[in-house]
């Protein structure tokens, strides 16, 4: 990768700050972090990381709108900033923040010959009944279930129709977990929540199953470690020939029971799982299976292997959660 400046939007968030850590490990220090910190705790994710500036997302957009050369020689843009709340109901806000902001930043990067990698979303797949195939020929047939997913899907469609998708790379993250997610509250991964629950009570609760053929806790997800995600993002930044929208998971679905056992094992405890009723409000739309099709990303030559669930959970629990929920930048 060129040693020019890099820009990471959403850089104080979970995956964004982990991406800056990843780029730091590869020797990249000239990084502009773009985010909206406000009064929350996201800033803690930046402690110990190396960057040249932290800018509010509106200030950043205004500066590149005023001057195409506002940030000098920019080698790459990693656009992870978005409103990711699936419960957000303000459609105008989502379109402005997720769709049009992405389009403006993409056009700015392409006009400069700058590599552009962005986050789409697995929410574009809707209920998953059509599978999780990232074949570009199927893009227009996807039916997101919420406005967040639609705001992401709309840019994917626009990029495909305009030909931009042949010059940029997008990723659809599946169930990402790992350090630097502590500020996310209810949106934290079950790994982090499980560690807290087992630490405090010795027991973990999982949802009962309400579908024939699926045992309690046997519902499956494609759990992917954040370090695998950031290694992949760094590779895509460095390989402008790898373009299109790609799934980013492991390609192997695992059950909640598997995850629970991995957490107990990492904590050196015997499993103690209680299955509790699933809220009626989500029973009819609960997904029992997600699994990323990974053939297209692998076909690009991306060499990043998928860390096993057990190894990833062990690394997360022992190096980050158990010592007091350390961030990537503050961990030896």
Q: How does pLDDT run across 48-65, given as a tens digit for each residue?
A: 999 999 999 999 999 999
Is residue 202 a part of any domain in this protein? Answer: no
Query: Average pLDDT for residues 213-237, to the nearest whole number?
Result: 98
Query: Average pLDDT for residues 80-109, to the nearest whole number?
Result: 94
Is residue 36 a part of any domain in this protein? Answer: yes
Strand ranges inside 36-184, DSSP E:
53-56, 74-79, 115-119, 169-173, 175-177
Structure tokens at 107: 């056009």
- Identify how many contiguous H helices and E strands the chain contains and give both numbers: 11, 13
In degrees, rounded to 5, the angle at the alpha carbon of residue 35 between the alpha carbons of residues 249 and 146 is 50
Q: Name beta bridge partners: 6.
A: 31, 76
Q: Name beta bridge partners: 53.
A: 32
Sign of the alpha-carbon torsion through 63, 65, 70, 76: positive
Count up the domains in the chain and report the number.
1
Name the pairing type of β-strands 115-119 and 31-35: unpaired
Predicted confidence at residue 2, as pLDDT, reads: 56
Check: CB of residue 226 under 8 Å from CB of residue 178. Answer: yes
Predicted confidence at residue 87, as pLDDT, reads: 82
Is residue 102 a part of any domain in this protein? Answer: yes
Is residue 320 a part of any domain in this protein? Answer: no
Check: CB of residue 313 under 8 Å from CB of residue 266. Answer: yes
Whole-structure pTM value: 0.96
User: Where residue 129 falls among pLDDT bands split at 50, 70, 90?
Assistant: confident
Cα–Cα distance measured from residue 62 to residue 54, given in angstroms and rounded to the nearest whole number: 15
* Residue given tokens 């370090």 in the structure block: 227
Task: Check whether 188 has a pLDDT greater than 80.
Answer: yes
Cα–Cα distance measured from residue 60 to residue 104, given in angstroms and rounded to the nearest whole number: 12
Is residue 318 a part of any domain in this protein? Answer: no
Cα–Cα distance measured from residue 60 to residue 44, given in angstroms and rounded to the nearest whole number: 21
Domain that residue 171 falls in: 5-177+223-251+291-307
User: Where residue 4 falls among pLDDT bands split at 50, 70, 90?
Assistant: confident
The greatest distance separating any two alpha carbons of the chain, rounded to the nearest whole angstrom, comes to: 59
Query: Average pLDDT for residues 80-90, to the nearest whole number?
Result: 88
DSSP result, 248-265: ES-S--EEHHHHHHHHHH
Within a 10 A sphere around the Cβ of 133, how many other Cβ atoms? 15
pLDDT digits (tens, 9 = 90+) for 15-29: 999 999 999 999 999
Structure tokens at 309: 């669930």
Is residue 286 a part of any domain in this protein? Answer: no
Is residue 82 a part of any domain in this protein? Answer: yes
Task: Check whether 1 has a pLDDT greater than 80.
Answer: no
Catalytic residue among 101, 118, 148, 320: 148
Q: Which of 172, 112, 93, 175 is nearest to 138 (CA)?
A: 172
Q: Does 184 participate in catalysis according to the annotation?
A: yes
Cα–Cα distance measured from residue 61 to residue 65, given in angstroms and rounded to the nearest whole number: 6
Task: Check whether 179 has a pLDDT greater than 90.
Answer: yes
**Phi, psi angle pair for 306, to nearest 5°:** -85, 120
Contacts of 230 (CB under 8 A, 6+ apart): 15, 18, 19, 21, 22
Predicted confidence at residue 86, as pLDDT, reads: 80
Cα–Cα distance measured from residue 124 to residue 207, given in angstroms and rounded to the nearest whole number: 25
Is residue 147 a part of any domain in this protein? Answer: yes
Query: Average pLDDT for residues 136-142, to the nearest whole number?
Result: 96
**Phi, psi angle pair for 275, to nearest 5°:** -100, 125
Q: Residue 128's domain is classified under what CATH number?
A: 3.40.50.720
DSSP result, 171-238: EEE-EEE-TT-GGGGGGS-HHHHHHHHHHHHS-EEEEPP-STT--TT--EE-EEEHHHHHHHHHHHHT
pLDDT digits (tens, 9 = 90+) for 240-285: 999 999 999 999 999 999 999 999 999 999 999 999 999 998 898 8
- Per the prediction, the chain carries an average pLDDT of 96
Catalytic residue among 184, 193, 208, 286: 184
Cα–Cα distance measured from residue 28 to residue 12, given in angstroms and rounded to the nearest whole number: 17
Structure tokens at 311: 């190894």
Q: What percent of the chain has pLDDT over 90?
A: 92
């Amino acid at each position: 990768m060129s040693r020019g400046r890099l820009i990471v939007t959403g850089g104080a968030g979970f995956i964004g700050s982990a991406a800056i850590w990843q780029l730091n490990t590869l020797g990249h220090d000239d990084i502009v972090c773009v985010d909206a910190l406000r009064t929350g705790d996201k800033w803690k994710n930046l402690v110990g990381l190396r960057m040249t500036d932290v800018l509010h997302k509106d200030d950043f957009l205004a500066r590149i709108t005023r001057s195409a050369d506002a940030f000098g020689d920019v080698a790459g843009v990693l656009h992870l900033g978005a409103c990711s709340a699936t419960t957000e109901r303000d459609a105008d806000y989502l379109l402005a923040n997720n769709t049009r902001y992405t389009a403006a930043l993409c056009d700015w990067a392409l006009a400069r010959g700058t590599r552009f990698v962005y986050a789409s979303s697995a929410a574009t797949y809707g209920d998953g009944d059509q599978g999780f195939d990232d074949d570009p020929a199927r893009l227009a047939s996807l039916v997101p279930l919420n406005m967040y997913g639609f705001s992401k899907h709309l840019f994917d469609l626009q990029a495909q129709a305009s030909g931009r998708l042949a010059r940029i790379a997008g990723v659809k993250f599946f169930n990402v977990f790992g350090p630097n997610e502590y500020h996310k509250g209810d949106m934290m991964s079950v790994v982090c929540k499980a560690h807290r629950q087992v630490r405090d009570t010795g027991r973990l609760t999982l949802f009962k199953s309400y579908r024939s053929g699926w045992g309690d806790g046997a519902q499956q997800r494609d759990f992917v470690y954040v370090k695998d995600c950031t290694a992949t993002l760094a590779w895509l930044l460095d390989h402008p020939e790898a373009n299109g929208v790609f799934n980013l998971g492991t390609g192997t679905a695992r059950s909640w029971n598997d995850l629970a056992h991995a957490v107990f094992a990492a904590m050196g405890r015997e499993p103690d799982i209680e299955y509790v009723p699933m809220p009626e409000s989500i029973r009819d739309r609960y997904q029992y299976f997600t699994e990323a099709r990974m053939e297209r990303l692998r076909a690009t030559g991306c060499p990043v292997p998928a860390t096993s669930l057990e190894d990833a959970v062990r690394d997360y629990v022992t190096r980050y959660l158990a010592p007091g929920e350390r961030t990537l930048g503050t961990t030896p």
